[in-house]
Amino acid sequence: MRKLKNTELNRKSIEEFKKADKTPAIVVLDNIRSIHNVGSIFRSSDSFLIKKLYICGITATPENLRMEKTALGSTDSVDWEYIKEPEDLIQKLKKDNIIITAVEQADKSIKIQDFHPVTGSIYGFVFGNEVEGVREEFIKASKHVIEIPQVGTKHSLNVSVAAGIVLWDFYQKSFNL
């Protein structure tokens, strides 16, 4: 066994990424404080061919060059849009028939392993602030709230780690990997 060289990874160009069939998922970043978390989530969104990323509230946008440290160019491949107010974004997602799905610990949340997306539907996964979590407006607008089970003392994953887990899980369920 040997480690693959970068030239052996069959990476898509940005043009190929833009033309590729996308995973039926949207990512919503709501009030994410850390620009490095945002950049990391852009990279995960690139990795799994996510349709679009919406930035909401105080979350930094790619115009901030400090994001590039963790985004590594994925802000050029992944389509994104900034919509400041959650109410405006919720209306847009509903108008576009996106199934709003918050990622949060809640009284009626579904464990991620029990979440089964419907083929042909587009899901909008909402990830919230590192301290406060997903805002109540998004929780109330969500058809589903999914939770990643945790068994340690913290029950608190970094938001970029949680996004990676959720997006991988959705990707493999969507394509029956």
Confidence check: pLDDT of 177 > 70: no
Spatial distance between the Cα atoms of 62 and 21, rounded to a whole number of angstroms: 23
Spatial distance between the Cα atoms of 168 and 1, rounded to a whole number of angstroms: 25
Number of H helices, E strands in the chain: 7, 7
Contacts of 113 (CB under 8 A, 6+ apart): 149
Arithmetic mean of pLDDT over the chain: 96
72: number of Cβ within 10 Å: 14
Q: What is the largest CA-CA distance in the chain?
A: 51
Verdict on whether the full-model pTM lies above 0.85 = yes
Query: Does the domain made of 20-174 have the CATH classification 3.40.1280.10?
Result: yes
Please compute the mean of the pLDDT values over residues 72-99 and round it to a whole number: 97
**Residue of 96, 125, 152 whose CA lies nearest to 26:** 125
Judge whether 39 and 70 are in contact, CB under 8 Å: yes
